[in-house]
Structure 1
């Protein structure tokens, strides 16, 4: 009898362990295969643009919208939530369920400024890029009738006339940081004039209210007939300002170099959250594949060209730019933030 009970108990234990193992295995499989079985996407996808309607980021999102719809097979909605250098939109995006049905269109390094200089619920690594749509280096511009033809001309004039020359820029971003960095590292006494946006700064230049401005190269295609480039934050020839010589090349004469050749260049990205990528890696890949397919569409490319936006486009997977974005975040943390504080 005792032997029989022992065998019975052993059998019960074996069956229990087997059941537990089966459950664990089932749970693991269901977690791993959730993306493969949920038919994503099967509902509308919203692109939250971190800037007001009519700007370059908004225009780019609305151009890609119908083509992304065709690739994903669902409606794509563009929603603008401008303000606070992208913080309002970023907070709103992160407050939603992180399931891939919302994307955030925001610029780097601008969104990193919010982490460095404002109180945010997110950190530098909270967002993961799906797609890098545009790249726009900082350019220094003057009117065609200006006596300054190069960055070196402006530097020499500023040193000879302390407190006299003025430079305009959009407040709180890479344009202002570039002006501040040059003033600090070259000991320039110049008037730094901030504006609400790049278009306001360019209007001030056209009106003769400032001597030069810093702007985003492609965004300032609107004043190409009236302006000339004194320098640019890029080591390669720019399609919009082909005669512009890189800042660092010109700064060699002063024994000064910007931290990088592409210092504070603006990158327009579509982001998801790190939480989403970790939970739904297959969905993340589907989103990348959809953008990649759109980038091969000739009609889409023509729309970008017709809108004078193609010159700034890179149209590549965000995964290719992960290291670049990390270095840009470090640049903001270690170089830019101390200048603003």
Structure 2
């Protein structure tokens, strides 16, 4: 039973990406937290990201197919290429827009629920300070508006790409060279979301996720945590899998894999999943918890020791007066 499941995961790019992202990244990130507020903060973000990319992809894939089912049969060869291009990039635009918008939605939910916009305060590393209600309302509204604006922009671009591509598909015009280049490298294979090319996952998935995470960071501590997560994600998804495959290829020359795993390609896939679980989320989360705690303590010590070290503008020099000695005879 396990071997067929591993075969399926290994041979379907999108399902593989979804499985490793869910089990190896999102789930540990939600569970390895410092308090209940961070748990809800991460749960909102991680579930939202999964839904934004994979949910949008599969829903739009089905919807476009149903709405244009009769059109495909009537298209010329160039028209079919335009159709696949339009379908692919409309999905990418919608998903990327939602991915970039999601951290701002998380900020909206967390700020409204906790009453703080400070990441270190939210995770319990600093004493929580009460914000003025008027300022808090402005912050909440700003995060909500950012989310709605970015999501609406992505939806508008997606609609424009799909409608213009369908119009060109009906006319059967040849693609310009630039569009051909983009089409060859990024469009869905056979127009199927289940066959997502790796470059598309990187450009329209990874890039907006981490770009938005940096843009929506609430303080310098969160930015540094995002930077480490990016390193862990890159290593576990794009570097370590190749190293595991090479190691398994050497092992295959001298041993036989267990029957329940099937062939050595499944052994390599298990290694990929474990590398994702360890380096993408578990170890990076533990490292972030440790390092952020040290950074906050260090900065608090500086603030307590001398305000001048934290912000030189706050330093007020002493007023020194010359000493005058009067001699009495």
**Could you state the TM-score of these two structures normalised by the residue count of structure 2?**
0.23
Larger strand percent = 1
Larger helix percent = 2
